[in-house]
Structures are given as structure tokens and as C-alpha cells.
Structure 1
Amino acid sequence: MREQSLGWHLALAAFKAGKGNGELLAKLVKVLYLAWYLQEAGFGAVEREVYLDAEHILDAAARGASRDVWIIETADCFPIIAILDLHERQLLGAPVCAVDKAEARVVRFGRSESRAPW
């Protein structure tokens, strides 16, 4: 879990330094969705608006890719950090079967036409 957490925070740090990329963006998006599904299963919570804010910030980072600009401004990081912190707590408290179910939901969501799980 610590290694995963470090990877998420390093991904965000790369974006803050303007050195993000598609792989790192995918990693942050996956955490966003995993946290949501684990929250729905009863493992920790942040307000829905935090997810929406994080989604908008990650969408903006993705749009920058067309200009080869992979950045998230430091001032915009709070919602993403809140999600990362929540997900760390979730992984400490949720049983493996709940995490596995959340990961399966992320995969199903990725194959769907839905815009967001919330």
C-alpha cells in the first residue's frame, strides 16, 4: 500500500512540475474511481463535490496533452490530495474482497459509455 501511495503522490508531483504524462494521468483517474466505489461500499467518505472538482482538474490536465502540456497547478491540487488521502485510509480499512470488487467496477466502468460513475 505504501508503494502504491508513493506512486500516486509522485504522479501528482510530476504534474505539479509540468512533467506529467498519459500513464500518470490514468493512475490518478483510477484512484479517483476506486475511491468513489469504495466510498459507495461504506469505506470512508469525502463530499461528492471533491470528486467533481478532482475530475475537472484531471480533465483539464488531459486537455493540455494536445499541446504537450501536462500540468496541474499547485493551487488546484487540494481535491486530488483529498482523494488520495481518502483512498489510503480506505485501503487500510477495507477488506481485500471490497477492493477487488471496486477494481472490477472500475474495469466495467472503463468499458462503458458513461462519463463518470457519480
Structure 2
Amino acid sequence: MNFVACRAGAGTAYLFNELIRLVYLTFYVQDAGFGDTDLIVYARAEAALERSLQRAEDERVWTLETDDLPLFEAVLRESDRQLASAPRHVHLGARERLERFAVSGRPSPLPAAVRH
């Protein structure tokens, strides 16, 4: 639902935060061995969110660009597969990693090699 709202131009700061959480949690579950989405998809989704957040700050418009939608669709598909296949402890571990990242001061949990 968050994705649908953001895609339709009805996003909010909270909904965008949830999309960021989705991208990073999905990455962490994949990093634990459950997923095969190309890492560049996560990096491009992260960059798309950064652009969208900048636009929201500048223009007060909380929406995703049409060209970026396939990235989030790919992350959502991967997340759905992970929910069906990864054990609960893997998801809990991903949440713990996200919490540690959130207080780390690092700009991204993604490997630097895929962000450039």
C-alpha cells in the first residue's frame, strides 16, 4: 500500500520512510542468503528515493518517478518471495541489522561498489 500511495503522488514522509525500510530489509534478507535480485536494483532504488526525498523537500511533492517504479516493483517481488521462503529468524536478524544501521551514521547499508 505504501508503494501504491507513493506511486500515485499521495506519499508522505512516513510512507517514504517505510519504502526505505523495505528496500534495506529486503537487501539484508537477501544478504543472509534468501534472494537473487541484482544488487544494482537496491542501489538504484536507494538513489531514486534520495531524488524523491530531495524533490519533496524542494517542491513538497511526495511521489516516485515513473521511470523508477520497476525498481520498487522488483524489490516488492523479492520481498514477497522472501516472506514465503526465509525463516523468521532471518527476518528478525534483518530488522536488527536495520536498527544498527539506523544509528550508525553511515549513508547506506549497501556495499559501496554497487552505489557508484
Asked whether the equivalents of residues 52 and 65 of structure 2 are also in contact (C-alpha less than 8 Å), the reply is no
1:60-106 CA-to-partner distances (Å, cap 9, x unmatched) read 11112212111112232011110111011011111111110100000
Q: Which residue of 1 aligns with 2:113?
A: none
The one-letter code matched in structure 2 to 1:55 is: E
Is 1:28 the counterpart of 2:19? The answer is: yes
Matched, 1:40 2:15: no
- The answer to whether residue 7 in structure 2 is matched with residue 16 in structure 1 is yes
Separation (CA, whole Å) in 1 of partners of 2:30 and 2:106:
19
Deviation at 1:15, TM superposition (A): 1.6
Runs of 4 or more above 2 Å deviation: none
Report what 2:83 is aligned to.
Answer: 91
Query: Displacement of 1:111 after TM fit?
Result: 0.5
Question: Which piece of structure 1 moves more, 70-79 or 17-26?
Answer: 70-79
Sequence identity (%): 35
User: TM-score scaled to structure 2, two decimals?
Assistant: 0.89
Q: 2:92 matched to which residue of 1?
A: 100
Counterpart of 2:106 (choices 99, 107, 114) is 114
Partner Cα separation in structure 2 for residue 23 and residue 104 of structure 1: 20
RMSD: 1.0
Structure 2: where are the runs of 5+ without partners? 111-116
Please list every run of 5 or more consecutive structure 1 residues that lacks an aligned counterpart in the other structure. 1-9
- 1:77 matched to 2:69? The reply is yes
Give how far 1:27 is off.
Answer: 0.7
